[in-house]
Amino acid sequence: MFKSITIKRSLTNIENLFVSHSKPGTKVATRPLPRFNNVFNGRNQIGSSLYSTATAQSNMSFPCIDKIESRQVELKKSLKLQEDLFTHVVNGYETFHYKKPFAMSHGGILPSFKIAYETWGELNSTKTNAILIHTGLSASSHAKSGEKNTKPGWWENFIGPGLSIDTNKYFVICTNLLGGCYGSTGPSSINELTGKRYASSFPIITINDMVRAQFLLLDNLGISKLHASVGASIGGMQSLAAAVIFPERVGKLVSISACAISHPYSVSLRFAQRQVLMTDPNFNRGNYYDSVPPHVGMKLARVISTVSYRSGPEWEMRFGRSRLSPDSDPALCPDFLVETYLDHKGEKFCLEYDANSLLYISKAADMFDVSESMTKKLSSKLNIAQRKIMAMESNSDNSVIDVCGFPNPAELKSKNNKNNETKIQIEEDLIAGVKNVMMPTLVLGVQSDILFPSEQQKEIATILRKAGNQSVTYYELDSLYGHDTFLLDLVNVGAAIKGHLEHN
């Protein structure tokens, strides 16, 4: 009906063209337009044919939408109300429970927290052979298979006896991030003060907060100094932050495909993911745990992130312009092989990770900045939160903990605005921020990485050298795999890591 009305309006406009230029008050004789009138009356064969064709074209199939609608129905029938929502994805980890209030860098307070972790190898008698592996955004503590979880880990071929991170020599620890959903406290966890899930009341978190929580775990394990802090992507941010916050406790540093300060392009990609996620009708401002989760938004967010994780040259070789069914008519659902790949990645991920965790951790990545001015600013906010905890402990009343308690913005107004700084001033600020990072450092970049371009790893190496660190090694890999090179290139990434860790 809509298309029929559109045709009528168009034809009426054509008729008006014959009289639009006549003088006011002049009677204009117009001949009837039989063909147009026949269309209006539905008697013209051409018009009927056009309408039939349009109707037929509107009946294109949408199997990808059908799948989403079916999943929506199924999710309504099988709501998961247990406390731990993602044990079907990861299990077999140990849990460290920090039972005291924990101050956050933006002023929030957690009444307590848990960190999920796994270990491989043996801690030596002097407790000096520990390596802490920091994960990316959505990774779990399961970096390597073990007795409690025999499934291959996300860095399976890098960790083990005689491998890049040799468990015959080192005691290897990997945690799920604070703010995550694979056993560590995050938005999907139960707030012990309310008995309800934190959801969007979870405090804004920083990379520094994640690292400080990890070092409380190290304290609990009796480890005063790491042999090395190792991480890639957001994990590479953490390994660098660990060296900045605890320089006396990190023996060696490895940062792969990361940055010293988040750049606009990376921020924009993560922003796009958050936007498609938050506009999913099921998101409900983060309060979806007792209903259907925002699975469509999660799927689309994963599609966007997957595009940023790999490279165009790789996909040119891997997929080219091949279609799923070359002889069929074009389809709006996945048609090209690269589209089917992205669709599969989104489908697989959409129910295996918590949407709020993605939002919080990706925002923490956006805000990452090791400059001296930012470190001081966050320390100021952290001190305010810590003073709140001291006041609460003196009153012995934990019921007054303000989980999200942000300080007065006017009180903490930044004196430095990087928009007004020159590149030289920004670099000087970053150099000052890493002035105590003097341990042997390995920085790896990848030429085809579009999420964290290699210029950002060069920046890390440069500021460390200018700060006075004379033991900085920088390698730039010519790999097709883009940002995911750290997961896939065992020969080059693995050899570089092994050489750095074992070099005296």
CB within 8 Å of 72: residues ≥ 6 apart: 292, 295
Of the residues 280, 369, 429, 449, only one is catalytic, namely 449
Residue 80 phi, psi dihedral angles, 5° rounding? -100, 115
Is residue 437 within 8 A of residue 244, CB to CB? The reply is yes
Among this protein's residues, is 483 annotated catalytic? yes
Query: How many Cα atoms within 13 Å fall on the side-chain side of residue 13?
Result: 6
Please give the Cα distance from 239 to 246 (Å, whole number).
10
Buried b (16+ CB within 10 A) or exposed e, 209-238: bbbbbbbebbeeeebeebbbbbbbbbbbbb
Of the residues 134, 227, 295, 483, only one is catalytic, namely 483
What stretches of 63-152 adopt beta strand conformation (E)? Answer: 94-98, 102-103, 109-110, 113-120, 130-134
Give 436-479 as a 3 state SS string.
CCCCCEEEEEECCCCCCCHHHHHHHHHHHHHHCCCCEEEEEECC
Among this protein's residues, is 233 annotated catalytic? yes
What stretches of 146-189 adopt beta strand conformation (E)? Answer: 159-160, 165-166, 171-175
Find tokens 């990072």 and name the residue: 437
Is residue 318 within 8 A of residue 267, CB to CB? The reply is no
Residue 453 tokens, joined: 């371009």
Of the residues 233, 255, 371, 448, only one is catalytic, namely 233
Is residue 131 within 8 A of residue 226, CB to CB? The reply is yes
Q: Which amino acid is at 121?
A: G
Please give the Cα distance from 421 to 416 (Å, whole number).
8
Residue 78 tokens, joined: 């099988």
> How many CB atoms within 10 Å of residue 48?
13
> How many CB atoms within 10 Å of residue 30?
10
Instruction: Tell me the angle at which helices 454-467 and 423-433 cross, rounded to the nearest 10 degrees.
Output: 60
Active site residues: 233, 449, 483
